[in-house]
């Protein structure tokens, strides 16, 4: 099929490259000319394992990028909206980018003769596709959804860093649609993937995505709360959760205590669901607590540090890990951000290192020192905070010898203190 993908960020560029891999003809649309140029040169605009290979393989053949909506809509049958849906200042979802993309699509569809289907892949609160998106599309295309305009919602569940793998090997594909024709067009795009398609209505598809993320975030905050209690009781929470996770009703995934969740999805999606619930006069106390635990969690790293090093001012502190998780350059809502902010408030001299995310973090904290290796960040430091679960940090050992004081606060249970000689080791929850 011929598919256009609106937005070339993490979701859009992975969706585009994977649909190309599945044999479809794909056109990426982005308003960012730099991203358009990068894609047409065969380079992905974001880092994702395996993405560069797919782009190299398909760009110029069945994958191109443009900023021209008319060209993309005329030359494709279905358009996926993959633009950002950030939190607004009050925590509710900001749909302005989805609205702008819907308007541009509607205007281009207006000058096309054939049937066209629009699919929302961005994460949007229930009611958005059949409310905001549908009304904008109908207004600007002068068509009626369900007649010459198809409308669907196809949430994305990929994990950043593993996005290409997850797209091609999903454990579920959800298609919400207004009508049967849209459902069969969108489901048909996934025909060559070995996974059953769950067909539902638009609102249910939107809700499935939120509930999925809210449940995973709840598991993490639950594990962190248990970890905080275990720390005070002198119990290793990892031993506790290892046993608890063996219960098939619970499952071991997402029970690792640590510095909390970040990224572009969990925090904003839980907040958006909270906002939707409150709009309907329901106070979601459990979800509010999930966010509260997550806000307090990284700051406990600083509290543990201050217990050991009461005067942080002018002390050199190594922060290892800036990405919100390993295998990505994404720093959105990274738990390193509140930690660095708190350390700066206290006058620390921060030397940070991350294998991929330093350039992105420089936009948030231009004035801290960025090292080109963990070893360089550790040299002469009074303490080290381990923030992201990068594999290369698991191998750290003699590198700590170059510190002024070998004090390590591990926020991700990456290192075994028994393997480290003369290191003052403190785990966040263990
Ligand atoms: P992103 O911010 O990385 O990318 C958005 C892209 O859209 C950017 O390249 C931007 O230039 C482009 N854009 C903005 N306005 C545009 C317009 N009017 N027309 C064309 N392009 C435009 O976002 P993302 O992380 O890929 O997330 C996209 C959506 O997918 C969000 O709703 C997010 O919640 C959801 N999602 C993200 C993930 C993830 O892991 N990142 C996973 C599942 C779902």
Digit-coded pLDDT (tens) for 264-275: 899 999 999 999
- Mutate which of 6, 12, 94, 103 for ligand 1? The one with the most ligand atoms within 8 Å of its CB, which is 12
Q: In terms of domains, do 259 and 320 share one? A: no
Residue of the CA atom closest to atom 3 of ligand 1? 9
What is the structure's pLDDT at 161? Answer: 87
Residue of the CA atom closest to atom 32 of ligand 1? 122
What is the structure's pLDDT at 90? Answer: 81
Q: In terms of domains, do 83 and 184 share one? A: yes
Q: In terms of domains, do 220 and 276 share one? A: yes
d(CA 371, CA 318): 9
Residue of the CA atom closest to atom 11 of ligand 1? 32
Q: Would the pLDDT of 28 be above 90?
A: yes
Any binding-site annotation on 308? Answer: no
Q: In terms of domains, do 288 and 143 share one? A: no
The CA 377 to ligand 1 mean position distance, Å, reads 33
Q: In terms of domains, do 248 and 308 share one? A: no
- Residue 306 CA: distances (Å) to CA of 310, 311, 352: 5, 7, 18
Residue of the CA atom closest to atom 13 of ligand 1? 7
Any binding-site annotation on 257? Answer: yes
Does residue 265 carry a catalytic annotation? yes
pLDDT-derived band at 336, boundaries 50, 70, 90: very high
Any binding-site annotation on 172? Answer: no
Q: Would the pLDDT of 122 be above 80?
A: yes
Residue of the CA atom closest to atom 14 of ligand 1? 83
Calculate mean pLDDT across residues 367-378. Answer: 98
Calculate mean pLDDT across residues 96-120. Answer: 98
Q: Would the pLDDT of 293 be above 90?
A: yes
The CA 402 to ligand 1 mean position distance, Å, reads 41
Calculate mean pLDDT across residues 339-354. Answer: 98
Asked whether residue 334 is domain-assigned, the answer is: yes
Calculate mean pLDDT across residues 209-226. Answer: 98
Q: Would the pLDDT of 89 be above 90?
A: no
Q: In terms of domains, do 188 and 285 share one? A: no
Asked whether residue 253 is domain-assigned, the answer is: yes
pLDDT-derived band at 253, boundaries 50, 70, 90: very high
Q: In terms of domains, do 44 and 108 share one? A: yes
What is the structure's pLDDT at 97? Answer: 98
Asked whether residue 94 is domain-assigned, the answer is: yes
The CA 157 to ligand 1 mean position distance, Å, reads 14
Show which of 237, 264, 296 is a domain's final residue: 296
- Which residues lie with the beta carbon below 6 Å from any ligand 1 atom? 6-12, 29-32, 35, 82-85, 97, 100-101, 104, 122-123, 156, 158, 160, 264-265
The CA 81 to ligand 1 mean position distance, Å, reads 8
Calculate mean pLDDT across residues 124-138. Answer: 97
Q: In terms of domains, do 261 and 315 share one? A: no
Please answer whether residues 268 and 333 qualify as being in contact, where contact means their C-beta atoms are separated by less than 8 angstroms: yes
Q: In terms of domains, do 126 and 19 share one? A: yes
* Percent residues over pLDDT 90 in the chain: 97
Calculate mean pLDDT across residues 321-333. Answer: 95
Asked whether residue 319 is domain-assigned, the answer is: yes
Q: Would the pLDDT of 107 be above 90?
A: yes
Q: Would the pLDDT of 129 be above 80?
A: yes
pTM: 0.92
Q: Which of 82, 230, 265, 384 is an active site residue?
A: 265
Q: Which atom of ligand 1 is nearest to the CA of 45?
A: 9
Q: In terms of domains, do 292 and 315 share one? A: no
What is the structure's pLDDT at 160? Answer: 86
Q: Which atom of ligand 1 is nearest to the CA of 11?
A: 26
pLDDT digit string, tens, across residues 145-162: 999 999 999 999 999 889
Asked whether residue 282 is domain-assigned, the answer is: yes
Any binding-site annotation on 160? Answer: yes
State the CATH number of the domain containing residue 279.
3.40.50.720
Q: In terms of domains, do 240 and 368 share one? A: no
Show which of 200, 218, 251 is a domain's final residue: 200
The CA 237 to ligand 1 mean position distance, Å, reads 36
The CA 56 to ligand 1 mean position distance, Å, reads 22
Any binding-site annotation on 255? Answer: yes
- Mutate which of 12, 73, 84 for ligand 1? The one with the most ligand atoms within 8 Å of its CB, which is 84
Show which of 296, 328, 349 is a domain's final residue: 296
Asked whether residue 423 is domain-assigned, the answer is: yes
Q: In terms of domains, do 13 and 87 share one? A: yes
Asked whether residue 205 is domain-assigned, the answer is: no
The CA 191 to ligand 1 mean position distance, Å, reads 25
Calculate mean pLDDT across residues 412-426. Answer: 95
Any binding-site annotation on 289? Answer: no
Q: Would the pLDDT of 91 be above 80?
A: no
Asked whether residue 378 is domain-assigned, the answer is: yes
- Mutate which of 4, 5, 6, 10 for ligand 1? The one with the most ligand atoms within 8 Å of its CB, which is 10
pLDDT-derived band at 87, boundaries 50, 70, 90: confident
What's the total number of domains in the chain? 3
Any binding-site annotation on 227? Answer: no
Residue 253's domain spans which residues? 210-296
């Amino acid at each position: 099929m011929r598919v256009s993908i609106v937005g070339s960020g993490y979701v859009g560029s992975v969706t585009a490259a994977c649909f190309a891999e599945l044999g479809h003809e794909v056109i990426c649309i982005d308003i960012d000319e730099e991203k358009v140029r990068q894609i047409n040169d065969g380079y992905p605009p974001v880092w994702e394992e395996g993405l560069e290979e797919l782009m190299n393989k398909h760009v110029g053949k069945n994958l191109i990028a443009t900023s021209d909506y008319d060209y993309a809509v005329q030359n494709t049958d279905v358009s996926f909206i993959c633009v950002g849906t950030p939190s607004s200042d009050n925590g509710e979802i900001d749909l302005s980018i989805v609205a702008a993309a819907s308007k541009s699509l509607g205007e281009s569809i207006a000058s096309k003769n054939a049937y066209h289907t629009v699919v929302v892949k961005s994460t949007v609160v229930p009611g958005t596709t059949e409310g905001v998106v549908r009304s904008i599309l109908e207004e600007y295309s002068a068509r009626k959804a369900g007649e010459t305009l198809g409308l669907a919602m196809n949430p994305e569940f990929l994990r950043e860093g593993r996005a290409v793998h997850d797209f091609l090997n999903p454990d579920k594909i959800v298609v919400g649609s207004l009508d049967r024709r849209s459902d069969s067009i969108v489901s048909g795009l996934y025909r060559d993937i070995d996974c059953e398609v769950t067909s539902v209505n638009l609102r249910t598809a939107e809700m499935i995505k939120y509930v999925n993320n809210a449940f995973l975030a709840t598991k993490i905050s639950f594990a962190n709360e248990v970890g905080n209690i275990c720390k005070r009781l002198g119990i290793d929470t990892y031993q506790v959760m290892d046993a608890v996770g063996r219960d098939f009703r619970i499952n071991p995934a997402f029970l690792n205590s640590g510095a909390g969740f970040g990224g572009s999805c969990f925090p904003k999606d839980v907040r958006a669901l909270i906002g939707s619930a409150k709009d309907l006069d329901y106070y979601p106390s459990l979800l509010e607590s999930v966010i509260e635990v997550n806000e307090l969690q990284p700051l406990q790293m600083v509290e543990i540090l201050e217990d050991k090093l009461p005067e942080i001012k002018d002390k050199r502190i190594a922060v290892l890990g800036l990405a919100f998780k390993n295998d990505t350059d994404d720093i959105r809502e990274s738990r390193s951000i509140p930690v660095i902010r708190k350390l700066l408030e206290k006058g620390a001299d921060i030397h940070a290192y991350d294998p991929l995310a330093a350039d992105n973090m420089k936009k948030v904290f231009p004035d801290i020192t960025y090292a080109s290796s963990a070893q360089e960040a550790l040299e002469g430091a009074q303490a080290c905070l381990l923030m992201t679960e990068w594999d290369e940090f698991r191998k750290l050992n003699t590198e700590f010898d170059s510190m002024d004081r070998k004090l390590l606060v591990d926020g991700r249970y990456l290192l075994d203190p028994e393997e480290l000689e003369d290191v003052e080791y403190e785990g966040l929850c263990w």
